[in-house]
Amino acid sequence: MILGLLREPGDETRVALLPELVKELVVAKVEVLTENSAGEKAFASDADYEAAGAKLASREAVFERAEVLLQIQPPNDSDLSLIKKTQIWISVFNPLWETVLVDTFLKKGLTTFSLDSIPRSTRAQAMDVLSSMATVAGYKAVLEAALRLPTFFPMFMTAAGTIRPANVLILGAGVAGLQAIASARRLGAQVQVFDVRSAVKEEVMSLGGKFVEVEGAVEDKAAGGYAVEQTEEFKRKQQEAIDQHAAKANVVICTAQIPGRKAPVLIHKATVDNMKPGSLIIDLAASTGGNCELTKNNESVVHKGVTIIGQSNYPAQMPVDASRMFGKNVFNFLKLIIGEEGTLNLNFDDDIVKGTCITHQGEVLNERVKSIIEKKNGSPAIKETEIKTGTKTKK
Ligand code: NAD
């Protein structure tokens, strides 16, 4: 198999594989073709890649020769014009949300994998890029808040008086939220947390956060551990409780998301109106609309002295460890599609391979994406009778 490792576009600083893992792929008889300067912004030089056994090439040459193309960011129009039907595109493109891009892949008949669709199962944990990147985001969000806040995070008792600890409100206690709780507690802040899943209460408490309970949350076991849409009655009660806590908070970190939907709006303009001037909202749900009504993706806005930071790519601010974690996850995933002697082996009988594959030969393979695309287009996005399995066709 020839794996093409691409240089990331725009402001992205990460790289999908660092040289240390390229070395392991080469041992597994995979030929790694690395685009010139692919790792530059993550402090991995071309010489490091060459020493690991990769061959360097221009972007055009990587597109020309590779069987598998690997890039963290989704393809742009120019990439789309270069990808061939015989190639496999692997990246992270939020297919539950970016349905127009999925439609484009379908129309072009491309085989695409989105690593954010890796099932949340025990076997797939070592491949879970969402958890890795959410860990970076939760940590970085707290550090950015601590740097920008005009007050201390910890309590100080000094000769100049007592400084009260910062109040941090965290909305959503998934992977990013839990990391934010841990990081804010390490810096000495008092932390209050909202979530609609009661299962996270103990985890929040074990990290030293206070879980604010709102009765009547809807939970659905079939949602695979994810949150689901809430009733209007619950939303009203939750809103009142959040408003009260936001008015006392110095920092609000928003992480609440529902896969495939717009992020729930939990901080309305009126809530921000009542927050303390100088306080901060860091919205990690910005790319799907944000938890704050005033959030703008990848922008900072100030409203009545409250700064609202819509940040959807904190991992790009920590490229070395973010790339290291991402790369390890990708490497573990690639092992599933590398056969003997380093050949490409797509086995759609494997639930992780099938679940992560978004489009293949004009069909949508991921079940959740398939149902969203079918609803959107009003027609089946997959043929019922045939699913290709490796080189054989299984009926
Ligand atoms: P996410 O990014 O989808 O959402 C973040 C958090 O926001 C979730 O905890 C969610 O419950 C919460 N939320 C959604 N709507 C809300 C609302 N209206 N008010 C308050 N909170 C709201 O979550 P995630 O970090 O991707 O984790 C989702 C699930 O996946 C969790 O159950 C987690 O434990 C599980 N998980 C499993 C694995 C694995 O087994 N491999 C790995 C990581 C996470």
- CATH code: domain of residue 329: 3.40.50.720
131, part of any domain: no
Q: Is 177 in the pocket of ligand 1 (CB under 6 A)?
A: yes
340, part of any domain: yes
Per-residue confidence (pLDDT) for residue 379, from 0 to 100: 66
Segments in the chain below pLDDT 50? 382-395
Residue 309: strand pairing partners? 282, 300
131 is catalytic: yes
Per-residue confidence (pLDDT) for residue 389, from 0 to 100: 35
C-beta of residue 231 within 8 angstroms of C-beta of residue 339: no
Catalytic choice (131, 239, 317, 361) = 131
Q: Choose the final residue of a domain: 292, 317, 342.
A: 317
363, part of any domain: yes
Q: Is there a single domain that holds both residue 149 and residue 273?
A: yes
Determine which residue's CA is closest to atom 43 belonging to ligand 1.
131
What would the two tokens of residue 123 be?
């076997």
Q: Is 263 in the pocket of ligand 1 (CB under 6 A)?
A: no
Q: Is there a single domain that holds both residue 157 and residue 103?
A: no
Q: Is there a single domain that holds both residue 286 and residue 339?
A: no
Determine which residue's CA is closest to atom 26 belonging to ligand 1.
174
Ligand 1: which atom is nearest the Cα of residue 238?
Answer: 19
Q: Which domain holds residue 65?
A: 2-126+319-389
121, part of any domain: yes
Predicted TM-score (pTM) of this structure? 0.92
Q: Choose the final residue of a domain: 317, 340, 361.
A: 317
Q: Is there a single domain that holds both residue 197 and residue 276?
A: yes
Q: Is there a single domain that holds both residue 156 and residue 214?
A: yes
Per-residue confidence (pLDDT) for residue 259, from 0 to 100: 83
Stated length of the chain: 395
Per-residue confidence (pLDDT) for residue 380, from 0 to 100: 62
128 is catalytic: yes
Instruction: Give, for ligand 1, the residue of 117, 130, 195, 288 to mutate: max count of ligand atoms closer than 8 Å to Cβ.
Output: 195
Q: Is 303 in the pocket of ligand 1 (CB under 6 A)?
A: no
Q: Is there a single domain that holds both residue 58 and residue 104?
A: yes
Q: Is there a single domain that holds both residue 49 and residue 95?
A: yes
136, part of any domain: no
Per-residue confidence (pLDDT) for residue 340, from 0 to 100: 87
Q: Choose the final residue of a domain: 267, 299, 317.
A: 317
379 is catalytic: no
Per-residue confidence (pLDDT) for residue 383, from 0 to 100: 43
- 264 CA from centroid of ligand 1 (Å): 13
Q: Is there a single domain that holds both residue 293 and residue 149?
A: yes
125 is catalytic: yes
226 is catalytic: yes
88, part of any domain: yes
What would the two tokens of residue 187 be?
């810096």
Q: Is there a single domain that holds both residue 16 and residue 113?
A: yes
395, part of any domain: no
Q: Is 255 in the pocket of ligand 1 (CB under 6 A)?
A: yes
Angle among Cα 200, 170, 290 to the nearest 5 degrees reads 110
Q: Is there a single domain that holds both residue 122 and residue 155?
A: no
One-letter amino acid of 162: T
Angstrom CA distances, 93 to 10, 101, 107, 347, stand at: 15, 8, 17, 22
Per-residue confidence (pLDDT) for residue 6, from 0 to 100: 98
Q: Is 76 in the pocket of ligand 1 (CB under 6 A)?
A: no
394, part of any domain: no
Per-residue confidence (pLDDT) for residue 223, from 0 to 100: 75
Ligand 1: which atom is nearest the Cα of residue 235?
Answer: 18
Q: Is 290 in the pocket of ligand 1 (CB under 6 A)?
A: no
Q: Is there a single domain that holds both residue 204 and residue 340?
A: no
- 369 CA from centroid of ligand 1 (Å): 18
Per-residue confidence (pLDDT) for residue 267, from 0 to 100: 98
Q: Is there a single domain that holds both residue 116 and residue 66?
A: yes
- Give phi and psi for 48, each to the nearest 5: -60, -40
Determine which residue's CA is closest to atom 30 belonging to ligand 1.
225
C-beta of residue 82 within 8 angstroms of C-beta of residue 63: yes
Q: Is 134 in the pocket of ligand 1 (CB under 6 A)?
A: yes
- Give phi and psi for 344, each to the nearest 5: -80, 130
Per-residue confidence (pLDDT) for residue 338, from 0 to 100: 96
| E strand residue ranges, the chain | 2-5, 31-35, 55-57, 68-70, 88-91, 111-114, 156-158, 161-163, 167-171, 190-194, 210-211, 251-254, 280-283, 300-303, 306-310, 357-360, 363-364, 387-389, 392-394
Ligand 1: which atom is nearest the Cα of residue 257?
Answer: 4
Catalytic choice (78, 121, 125, 198) = 125
Our count of domains for the chain comes to 2
Per-residue confidence (pLDDT) for residue 392, from 0 to 100: 33
